[in-house]
Amino acid sequence: MITPEQVLPGQILPVDVDGVPPIELGPGVHVRMLPGMPGIRTWVIDIAPGAEWPDLDVHETYGEAYFVVSGEIIEGDRTHGPGTYVAFGPKTSHRPRTETGARAFGFNYDATA
């Protein structure tokens, strides 16, 4: 797991998202980890047109959510466009893909953090 810095109490930390080096998770799938708070990991994911998450993303003990900034993300038979917030509770799984390309801002809620 990638662990970026955390925002400390009393700290304000502006971040140029595009200045954060992307990490390739799979072909056409790049994540930029952002500073978070205890128990919350934040990230931006860029998925190239035609790309799919490399493996099934399983959330056994924590939840995850993302907000689609641009493009469309397909989850099963549902397509989520810009402005859509998608939340996954514990004991869920998904494997996002896109035909158009997409950028999403997301959060992982870690019970163990």
Q: How many separate domains does the chain show?
A: 1
Please indicate, yes or no, if residue 78 is contained in any of the structural domains: yes
Please indicate, yes or no, if residue 92 is contained in any of the structural domains: yes
Residue 21 reports pLDDT greater than 50: yes
The reported pLDDT for the residue numbered 12 is: 87
Please indicate, yes or no, if residue 83 is contained in any of the structural domains: yes
Please indicate, yes or no, if residue 9 is contained in any of the structural domains: no
CATH code assigned at 81 = 2.60.120.10
CA angle 35, 109, 81 (to 5 degrees): 85
Tell me the one-letter amino acid at 79: T
Range of the domain at 43: 20-109
Residue 4's pLDDT band, with cuts at 50, 70 and 90, is: low
pLDDT in tens, 22-76: 999 999 999 999 998 888 889 999 999 999 999 888 888 788 999 999 999 999 9
Please indicate, yes or no, if residue 10 is contained in any of the structural domains: no
pTM comes to 0.87
Name 77's Cβ contacts closer than 8 Å, sequence gap at least 6.
none
